[in-house]
Amino acid sequence: MKSIDLRSDTVSHPTPAMREAMARAEVGDDVFHDDPTVNQLEADAAELLGKEAAVFVTSGTQGNLCALLAHCNRGESIIIGDSSHIFRYEQGGMAQLGGILPHIVPVQPDGTLRLRDLEGAINPDDEHKPVTRLVALENTHNAAGGMPLSAEYTAEVADFARRNGLLFHIDGARIFNAAAAFGVDVKALVAGADSVSFCLSKGLCAPAGSILVGDRDFIRRARRARKVLGGSMRQVGVLAAAGSVALHTMRDRLGQDHDNAQLLAEGLSELPGICIHGQNTNFVFFSLSDDIDISLDSFVSALRREYNIYLSSYSGERGVIRLRTHYWIDRRAIYKVIAAVSSLLS
Ligand code: TLP
C-alpha cells in the first residue's frame, strides 16, 4: 500500500520530469563557475526574485547561514523572531560559526514581528552593546502554522530597516507558498529585502537545494561563506537541473496544496474528537479533544500501522499535530486520511 506522508513537505520526492532533466544535465565544476546548468538556475532565480545575483546552496539552513555570515561581522547582533526557524531549528549556527548574537522578539500569531518590538531591539550606539546589523523575517512562518506575510507588511519592515540603517534578510523557505496564497508576484514579497533564501525542495519537490539571492557583492561574500561551510559542490548541475524544473514548473500549482489543506481541515473538523487549530497555506494543525481516550502518540502510531498514514506528533507545541500537504498528496489521499481518522476515533 502506498504511504500517505503528511509529516512535512520536506518528504516530497522529485517528479519524473526532474529525474529526466537530471539525467540530461550538462555539468562543469561549479567552484570555477563552470557548470552551465547551475549558472542558468542562478540567473533565472535572481531574475524571478528581482535581485542582481543568486547562489545555489545545499539547503535552507545553509542559505540562511551564508546570508548571515555574509551580512554580519563577529560580535554583531540580528533581530529575529523567537519562533523563527533560524533561531529555533538551525542549531544557533549564526552564534556557533559566526559569533553573531540573536536578539529575539515575539512572533505574533499571524507570523509578523511588531514594529515597536523591532524598534526596541535596536541597540543604541553604546560601547557595552553589540552593534545591531540586521532584521530577519520568515515567509511563510513555519511555527506560526504556515502563515504568509503580505507584501504590505514586508514593505513596512523594509522601510523600518532602511530608516534604521539595518540590513533585511527573508528566510523564504516557502516564499512561493506565500505568493500563491496572496496571488501576487513573488517580487512584491521580497522587494525591500537585501537577501532572500528559498527552498527548491519542500513544496517545489526538488530532491535538494536552496537558492540565496541579493546584490552581486553580497552573493560574492555568500559564496565565500558557502565554501568555508563545505557547501561548494562540483558537477552539481545534476541537482540544479531538478531545481530548474522545480522553479519553472512547480510554483504555479502550489495553490492546489493549499486547497487540499483546506479540504483536509474541513473534513477533519467534522469528526468528533478533532479540534482544528488552524489552516494556512499548506499547513493544517489540530489536536485531539480531552474526551478522546487515546494518546496522541498512540493515535499517530495506529494511523501508521493500520493505514500507512504518516503524521508527526512533534510540533514544538505540545499536543498539536501539524500536517503539510504537498505535490504527492492528492484529493484522494485527503479523503483517505479523513476516513482513516474517522474510523480510528469511532
Ligand atoms: N523546516 C523543516 C524542519 O527543519 C523543521 C520542516 O519540516 O518544516 N526555513 C524554514 C522556514 C524551514 O521550515 C526550514 C525547514 C528551513 C529553513 C531549513 O531548510 P532545510 O531543511 O533545507 O535546511
Chain segment 134-143, per-residue pLDDT in tens: 999 999 999 9
* Start-end of CATH 3.90.1150.10 domains in the chain: 253-345
What pLDDT does 96 receive? 98
Burial zone of 109 (CB within 10 Å; 0-12 exposed, 13-18 middle, 19+ buried): exposed
Ligand 1 site, residue 203, Cβ cutoff 6 A: no
Ligand 1 site, residue 315, Cβ cutoff 6 A: no
Please report where in the chains the cell 494518546 appears, as a residue. Answer: 295
Ligand 1 site, residue 313, Cβ cutoff 6 A: no
Is the pLDDT at 118 greater than 60? The verdict is yes
Looking from the CA of 282 toward its CB, the CA atoms found within 13 Å total: 30
Domain 253-345, CATH homologous superfamily name and number: Aspartate Aminotransferase, domain 1 (3.90.1150.10)
Ligand 1 site, residue 142, Cβ cutoff 6 A: yes
Q: Measuring from atom 8 of ligand 1, which residue has the nearest CA?
A: 8
Ligand 1 site, residue 171, Cβ cutoff 6 A: yes
Amino acid occupying residue 264: L
Using the atom order of ligand 1, give the atom closest to the CA of residue 210.
22
Closest CA to 253 of 184, 208, 203, 209: 203
Q: Could you tell me the distance, in angstroms and rounded to a whole number, from the CA of residue 197 to the centre of ligand 1?
A: 11
Lowest-confidence segment of 23-27, 56-60, 292-296 by average pLDDT:
292-296
Chain segment 245-255, per-residue pLDDT in tens: 999 999 999 99
Helix (H, G, I), strand (E, B) or coil at 205: coil
DSSP code string of 89-128: SSTTHHHHHH-PEEEEEPBPTTS-B-HHHHHHHSPPS-TT
* Start-end of CATH 3.40.640.10 domains in the chain: 10-249
Using the atom order of ligand 1, give the atom closest to the CA of residue 10.
7
What pLDDT does 2 receive? 84
What is the sign, positive or negative, of the torsion defined by CA atoms of 164, 86, 35, 228?
positive
Using the atom order of ligand 1, give the atom closest to the CA of residue 58.
22
Chain segment 281-302, per-residue pLDDT in tens: 999 999 999 888 888 889 999 9
Round to whole Å and give the CA distance between 266 and 227: 47
Ligand 1 mutation pick, 68, 199, 311, 312, max ligand atoms within 8 A of CB: 199
Helix (H, G, I), strand (E, B) or coil at 319: coil
Average pLDDT of the residues of the chain: 96
CATH class of the domain comprising 10-249:
alpha beta
pTM over 0.85: yes
What pLDDT does 285 receive? 92
Chain segment 217-249, per-residue pLDDT in tens: 999 999 999 999 999 999 999 999 999 999 999
